[in-house]
């Protein structure tokens, strides 16, 4: 069930942090569709992140890619890299990806749309 605040509608995607870590291990990605938007959910050693799933370069699914030690998601098609904290493409070859806030709460893990 979604919860609305002033800036976001929050969507619960996991019931707990432990469940999120189990279903999406470190350096792995998972795709979610929330409010008609396809989101790439990433788990890195820096935490959990949400970024638009369609690569801004050519639209390929970022959730089919991987992450690196720089906390970037790498598109599997042309290897464009996007910073998971702010969506910036590392070489400025395409527009930036939109990022979505992720919150870990006592009652679960949420993505804000």
Helices (H), the chain: 17-23
Total domain count, the chain: 1
The length of the chain, given as a count of residues: 113
pLDDT of residue 61: 98
- Binned at pLDDT 50, 70 and 90, residue 2 comes out as low
Provide the domain limits for residue 79. Answer: 2-112
Mean pLDDT along residues 25-33: 97
User: Residue 65 and residue 84: Cα distance in Å, rounded?
Assistant: 13
- Window from 71-75, 92-96, 106-110 with minimum mean pLDDT: 92-96
Average pLDDT on 21-44 reads 97
Residues 27, 67: contact at Cβ < 8 Å?
yes
Please say if the pLDDT value at position 60 is more than 60.
yes
* C-alpha to C-alpha distance for 98 and 53, rounded to whole angstroms: 9
User: 3 and 13 in contact (C-beta within 8 Å)?
Assistant: no
CATH number at residue 85: 2.102.10.10
């Amino acid at each position: 069930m979604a919860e609305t605040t002033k800036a976001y509608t929050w969507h619960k995607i996991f019931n707990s942090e432990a469940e999120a870590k189990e279903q999406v291990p470190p350096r792995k990605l998972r795709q979610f569709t929330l409010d008609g938007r396809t989101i790439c959910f990433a788990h890195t050693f820096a935490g959990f992140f949400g970024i638009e799933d369609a690569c801004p370069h050519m639209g390929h699914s970022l959730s089919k890619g991987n992450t690196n030690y720089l906390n970037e998601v790498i598109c599997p098609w042309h290897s464009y890299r996007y910073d998971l904290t702010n969506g910036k493409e590392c070489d400025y070859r395409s527009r930036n990806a939109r990022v979505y806030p992720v919150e870990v709460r006592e009652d679960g893990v949420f993505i804000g749309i």
